[in-house]
Amino acid sequence: MKMVKNGPMLNAYPDSLGGTLGDIVEFLERPELKNVFSSFYILPSLFHTDLDRGFSVIDYSLNELLAKQKDLDRLQALGIDLKLDFILNHASVLSEQFQDILKKGEKSEYLDFFIDWNKFWQGHGRMTKSGYIEPDSDMIKDMFFRKPGLPILMVRFPDGTRVPYWNTFYQEIRYPAFDVQDIQKLTGVQYGTARKIAEIICDNLQMGKTPEEIMDGLNDVKERLSKGQKERICETLEANRKYLGQMDLNIRSPLVWDFYKRTLSTLRGYGAKIIRLDAFAYAPKEPGARNFLNEPGTWELLDRIRRLADQYKVELLPEIHAGYGEKVYEKIAQRGYMVYDFFLPGLMIDAFEQKSGEMLKKWADEIMSKKIHTVNMLGCHDGIPVLDLKGMLPEERISQIIHTIVQRGGYVKDLHGQKNVYYQVNATYYSALGENDDRMLLARAIQLFMPGKPQVWYLDLFIGKNDQEAVKKAGAGGHKEINRTNLATEDINAGLKKQIVRKQLELLKFRNAFPAFSFESEFIMKSENPHIYIEWRKADSIAILEADLDTLAFTVTGQTGATIVYRMGN
């Protein structure tokens, strides 16, 4: 971890603060922000992407609307290192590689760049009438699928052949909208009949039906179309279909590893010191084995990626959510990787509700005793994790955390739509804390004194409230927008005048500059409810936090020997 500074890290989309990355650089160049952050995690809409606000990458070139190379150069001039995303498991349908497959079919050099479902399952299932293999039940009993049904996108090659490709995450098929003249050209029927057929096709396409299903259900006008006419309509629709989605990469392909190497080189060229490995645990797949955190496949993949990353002198931060009882975080740390502290956000809320620092101390002591190097956080772009707390807190305490956040306006994210399989709660952290300034400031102080490299979500810094209007505008599945509100320059100017924002900046500046904090420092934490005491010591530098989880009063002290050089409280 010698390449990574221990100081605070800003976390934002490139358009979160002002509208572009250049605006964020101007924000970081302000006198109030001098020496506040040592790192910046820029979310992947920095790149050329299409879906999921950046996590569906077309290629890793810069998004020309949001960022320029000179913006990255200015960040380096400020001494700010970058943390950037590398999505190992998938790439966009619009990527050069997948588009080549759609254009050339079997003649594409990238044919095996993605996972052909039927080739993968050959000999392990039965072929269906729809053209894909239904795997034997014993082959998929240990597999975890993120959505209902099999994770397949059926792709049409230029010769009309339909090939299923593995698609763990989002997918969408779009057909061209037919009007009256299109139908007349294809069938020669009268205008009135053509208009009726066009209306039926458009309505049914919006409902998600396939062209074949639509032709079979034309009802009152189907006797006016011959079999050949219906086939021409179907063929024209299918030949002009378009796709959106994130297609799983075939890590057995040498071309994929060439792509991985080029991507790491590109990210390092942007200034990345930490590379977050998104969705890495879905990448290794074998018939009959788990398709999420496959062992030993997952560790073999990570080790191979690490050998590439070492060439570019970057640290890897594997991103994975798993219950505490599974000890996945420990397995990752034992292999020498940095670890996401997805436990702290829920533990912090629990500490305030219980007026007890007992679990915070227990977790901090474990991190230090096992020499785990973490990146910790309060809020983030995704949600407040609760799945991770399984095995760490009793189920009733986890349920209480969820209930508390939902009562304060949050949304529960469940897996597979099952209410008993919780994953995360979507809310701003300020709203999750009851929109209480004293609680937010104390939460920040505790975060900065907990072991790890603190990551700060921009909206937490500016005490953002739940954006219910954004959720409504986003429609189905738009719950994450509750905590992704972009701030205009006037919002930033107004925020910097607020005492709660200024005090957070002061704490962050102290945390960034004071030498007592490091991965190698001595650490002491005490908890006597509702009081907590945390001390960091390196040589003659000592940093101390004393806090009361009931009254929310706290004091932060910085000492050089016996001399107090910094003090802040509320």
The catalytic site residues sit at 278, 319
User: Cα dihedral angle (20, 246, 418, 213), rounded to 10 degrees?
Assistant: 120
The structure tokens listed for 58 are 């077309």
Cβ-count burial of 290 within 10 angstroms (0-12 exposed, 13-18 middle, 19+ buried)? middle
Rounded Cα gap, residues 199 and 201, in angstroms:
5
Report the candidate in 551, 406, 415 with the shortest Cα–Cα distance to residue 468. Answer: 406
Taking residue 218's Cβ as centre, other Cβ atoms within 10 Å add up to 18
The structure tokens listed for 331 are 């397995």
Q: Which segments within 272-359 are labelled E, that is strand?
A: 272-278, 315-318, 339-341
| CA 445 to chain CA mean position, Å | 25
Rounded Cα gap, residues 355 and 66, in angstroms:
43
Residues 6+ apart with CB under 8 A from 190: none
Cβ-count burial of 458 within 10 angstroms (0-12 exposed, 13-18 middle, 19+ buried)? buried
Question: Reduced to 3 states, what is the DSSP secondary structure of residue 57?
Answer: strand
Rounded Cα gap, residues 273 and 314, in angstroms:
5
